[in-house]
Amino acid sequence: MKITDALRIGEGDIVAIVGAGGKTSLMFALADAARKPVCLTTTTKLMRGEGQGIAEHILFSDFVSDFGKNLKRAEINLVTNPLNDRNQKRLGLSRSQADQLISVCKQEKVTCLIEADGARHLALKAPAEWEPVIPSHVDLVIVVVGLSAIGRPLNAEFVFRPELFSELTGLFLGYPIQLEHIIRMLNHPQGGLKGMPPKSRAAVVFNQADADTLKPGDRDLIREALCENYSAAILTSLRTDPENCEIFFDRR
């Protein structure tokens, strides 16, 4: 199924993407599949080269001076602040800047995709005290997890902030990660549900299906364990087939 249809992302929706294991890839896959124009941004940071050749880059200061009209000059627009001191990453928007951008996108019916979390390109993460940075007026929050972590030891090679992940799930450091631990993290109020605006829909994207780590019965486990806190869960392989997905459940 087409990924935007599975997640029910419509024209003018505001979507925050958090977690680990493919957030940036998901953002660009959704941008490619969504009705144009689309606005992309981040409340954290993006590597300098991300989006190059795909999106028209707009500095937030230019966006403000043009009252958002430049959002419709290109099919995909990336709005950030300038590069950091090391010139390696584009700085994300503050909460007030994100609110301004969201207001314009809603008014102009431009779909806005916001990367609201950082994970250093690892498969899993647990959020720190100040994370994630989700604006309050989003329609959908997508939590991404990478299935390639299943069977791997809980350490910094595979999980961003493994000590916090251990606290949330009860899994000891160094022990192999299983699907049940990922589900515990997703259902924890300080894990996958952390910072979730009360009026937002929530969905889970299990990425890296090509890792082939799911066992018989895992689909039933996902449906039973997550349907209370999430409105949908899907399975993707953004590296090999970013346009399509499998639906685990959809209770909207």
| Beta partners for residue 78, in sequence order | 40, 57
- How far apart, in whole angstroms, are the C-alpha atoms of residue 123 and residue 40? 22
How many domains would you assign to the chain?
1
Beta strands per DSSP E along the chain:
14-19, 38-42, 45-47, 56-59, 76-80, 89-91, 111-115, 124-125, 140-146, 159-160, 201-207, 232-237, 241-250
pLDDT of residue 71: 81
pLDDT of residue 89: 87
| Beta partners for residue 143, in sequence order | 18, 204
Asked whether the beta carbons of 33 and 212 are under 8 A apart, the reply is no
Provide the token pair at 6.
């599975």
Number of H helices, E strands in the chain: 7, 13
pLDDT of residue 77: 94
Burial class (CB in 10 A: 0-12, 13-18, 19+), 68: buried
- How far apart, in whole angstroms, are the C-alpha atoms of residue 62 and residue 81? 10
pLDDT of residue 242: 94
CATH number where 81 lies: 3.40.50
What is the DSSP code string of 27-91?
HHHHHHHSPSPEEEEESSEEETTTTTTTSEEEEHHHHHHTTTGGGGSSSEEEEE--B-TTSSEEE
| Token pair 């997640």: residue | 7
| Domain enclosing residue 171, as ranges | 3-250
Chain centroid offset of residue 135 CA? 13
Task: Name which of 138, 128, 117 is nearest 199 in CA terms.
Answer: 138
The verdict on pTM exceeding 0.85 is yes
| Token pair 């929050």: residue | 141
Per-residue pLDDT of the chain (252 residues; tens, 9 = 90+): 999 999 999 999 999 999 999 999 999 999 999 999 999 999 999 888 787 778 999 999 988 887 667 787 789 999 999 988 776 889 999 999 999 999 999 999 999 999 999 888 999 999 999 999 999 999 999 999 999 999 999 999 999 999 999 999 999 999 999 999 999 999 999 999 999 999 999 999 999 999 999 999 999 999 999 999 999 999 999 999 999 999 999 987
- How far apart, in whole angstroms, are the C-alpha atoms of residue 34 and residue 184? 31
pLDDT of residue 67: 64
